[in-house]
A and B are shown apart, each in its own frame.
Chain A
């Protein structure tokens, strides 16, 4: 079965720096990859989607890359702010209808 791994440890960075989160996968060839943000006590919220034939996607301070050779996606938050502190989840799917999630990476931006 597919295996999806994200940064195993929490990530702490200084405000204003770029945060980089990693999503690696094995035994899978997804056509789509999504990133979600989850705050404590709430459900995940969609941020970005990237397709297998796209190398990079940007939205405001967010950037996602998708390397199907390395089986890896990188999620970048530039000019990070304390309000960016949350858990970030990657999700992979092949049909576009069914998605499998990683365990998430907890990000803390220190003022």
Chain B
């Protein structure tokens, strides 16, 4: 398996533009997570899905952020309009429900580094 695949790896855009980040989880994984990482705040959970359904989006900073998972192999995180304070590395992670055997282990993608000028 190629692991969790994110694109683009790097994105530089101007304030006010729309940004779309993409993620392909590991095949068979039923959980998908979007995190944002900055030096100041570390890794913040934005939203997560279970079987393509959003379960908790309380970490989404504001209405400018939206996430979708139209099928089990694809998810997007959209920022519209983007602002300089959105500059960060955005990670997608997936996991498989281990049921009664314990907690999920996250497999992360390589991240998308976003710079908003």
Contact = CB atoms under 8 A, between A and B. Distances in A.
B108 interface: yes
B109 A34 contact: no
A46 B45 contact: no
A88 interface: no
Interface residues of B, number: 27
Contact of B48 (A43, A49, A96, A98): A98
Interface in B28-62: 31, 35, 41-45, 48, 50, 55-56
Nearest to A89: B43
B19 interface: no
Interface residues of A, number: 24
B102 A43 contact: no
Nearest to A50: B103
Interface class of chain B by DSSP: strand
Contacts of A41: 110-111
B102 A103 contact: no
Contacts of B80: none
B105 to A, nearest CB: 5
Contacts of A104: 42-43
A47 B104 CA distance: 13
A111 B108 CA distance: 30
B106 A97 contact: no
Interface of A: 31-32, 34, 36, 41-46, 49, 51, 89, 91, 93, 96-104
Interface of B: 4, 31, 35, 41-45, 48, 50, 55-56, 91, 93, 95, 97-98, 102-111
